[in-house]
Structure 1
Amino acid sequence: MNRWIAGVVVPFSTGSGEGGRGAGRPRARPSSALWMGGIPCYPAQMKFTLLTHFKEFDKRSNTGQLVLEILGEAAEQLQWDRLKPPPGLVEEIESGGVALVYPGPRDQEKDDADDLSGIKRFILIDGTWHQARKIHQRSPYLRKARRVSLTPAGESQYNLRKNQKESCLCTAECVIEILLGIGMTEHAEQLRQRFLAFIRPPGAMRGEAMGS
């Protein structure tokens, strides 16, 4: 089975593009995470950071917004800036417990590349494949983070953009796989249902999708 590594191939986010309103600031998140007994339930001590290319903000086809919507305070979105890396994120990477979900050469992957234990924060590069590769190449601090790979059970169902790379998942699908891997099945299912409502139904014409 091909070892697949996530988080790179798709574009997802919401907010403003570079120079637009709110540029450079994390997007505000609606508090619609899972609720149990009237109390929001988030993955314990777990955080998902979407490091997003500025062109992905305000794109309706971006699924990072779904991650923010469903996971609430357990997720955040940061606009990538080559000259101004997020200081708190850099420090946390250096302290350990942070993993970057990003592909690499098969012969350079470690035997435990799919081990998700001991990780308190997952970083996903939120953008097209080309954008993600540029972000990774121009962000030395990301290469200091532990790198993990994912082995999805099936192919990507994302269908809102053309020319997607084979064996790659979109941002929301990556997070679903991680949630399943760490045993957060209820969160994974809620995000999956939101994702399926967001994409085009099978056989639908282009432009008919993106349910709200």
Structure 2
Amino acid sequence: MPRSLCSRCQRPEKQCYCKALKEETACMDIIILQHPRESRHPLNTARILELGIGNCEVWVGEDFSAHSQLLRTLAEKNCFLLFPGANARASQDVLRTERPEVLIILDGTWRKAKKIYYCNPLLQQLPGIELTDLSLSDYRIRKAPGAGALSTVEAAVTLLRQASRDSKAHQQLLDTFSLMIDQQINAMGQEVFRKNYQQDNG
């Protein structure tokens, strides 16, 4: 029998994290372009941002060339893309002189995020931001593409903290993320976790 899911966070009711989140306003608007496969992933972290940041929207798809809301936003706002593409500059260099109104984030596995990027020339034309001074990811139950890779929520909080010059901004988002990971590890059991995710450390 399928487990009952929370209608907001889409987690099993026993692992619901909604009570850990109170809506905040970020120092810039956030638009997350999410690959359809990621939207169905039970541990996708864009949902934490969507529920915890009032000025955050998640749009699902691969080709956004005819997405009227995105096209209007790009025409009217000072938008930056958080992605290490050809036009990307180090985050601290950008934020020293620029104040993005809108931060666009691509959400999916590294392969899927690149697909969105290359399917949408309009994104390739945007000024890009590449994060610097990264901490280690707490995403202990998904395979990272390489050292320094962060989940979507971790990347967003890192950038927002740099932009606001507040090293503790949006801590509740990271706390909720850690809670979700801990709950998932407890649900699968420590033995399964160690076997599947800690092989390289043992």
Query: Normalising to structure 2: TM-score of the pair?
Result: 0.71
2:50 to 68, 72, 75: 68
Aligned position for 1:197 = 179
Query: What is the CA-CA distance between 1:110 and the residue it aligns to?
Result: 4.3
User: What is the Cα-based RMSD across aligned positions, in Å?
Assistant: 3.1
What are the Cα deviations for residues 66-93 of structure 1, in whole angstroms up to 9, with x where unaligned? 111211x211100124265422212322
Matched with 2:29 is 47
Does the alignment pair 1:176 with 2:157? yes
Alpha carbons of structure 1 residues 60 and 112: separation in structure 2 relative to 1, 3 Å: closer
Residue segments in structure 1 that go unaligned for 5+ positions in a row? 1-13, 16-29, 35-39
The answer to which of 181-190 and 140-149 deviates more is 181-190
Residue-by-residue CA offset, 1:50-106 (whole Å, 9 max, x unaligned): 1001111221121111111211x211100124265422212322445100001136x
* Aligned residue in 2 for 1:90: 71
Q: Which of the numbers 94, 108, 120 marks the counterpart of 1:115?
A: 94
Q: Distance in 2 between matches of 1:85 and 1:113?
A: 32
Q: Specify which of 118, 130, 135 is matched with residue 149 of structure 1.
A: 130
State the alpha-carbon separation in 1 of the partners of residues 116 and 74 from structure 2: 16
In 2 relative to 1, CA 96–74 (structure 1 residues): closer, same or farther, beyond 3 Å?
A: closer
State the one-letter code of the partner of 1:115: V
Q: Is the 8 A contact 1:101 1:123 kept in 2?
A: yes
Q: Secondary structure at the match of 1:99?
A: strand
Aligned residues: 172
Matches of 1:83 and 1:112, distance apart in 2: 25
Structure with higher RCO (Cα < 8 A, 6+ apart): 1
Identity %: 22
| SS in structure 2 at match of 1:115 | helix
Tell me which amino acid in the other structure corresponds to 2:32.
L
Residue equivalent to 1:58: 40
If you compute each CA radius of gyration, which structure gives the higher value, 1 or 2?
2
Aligned residue in 2 for 1:99: 80
Which residue type is aligned with residue 155 of structure 2? C
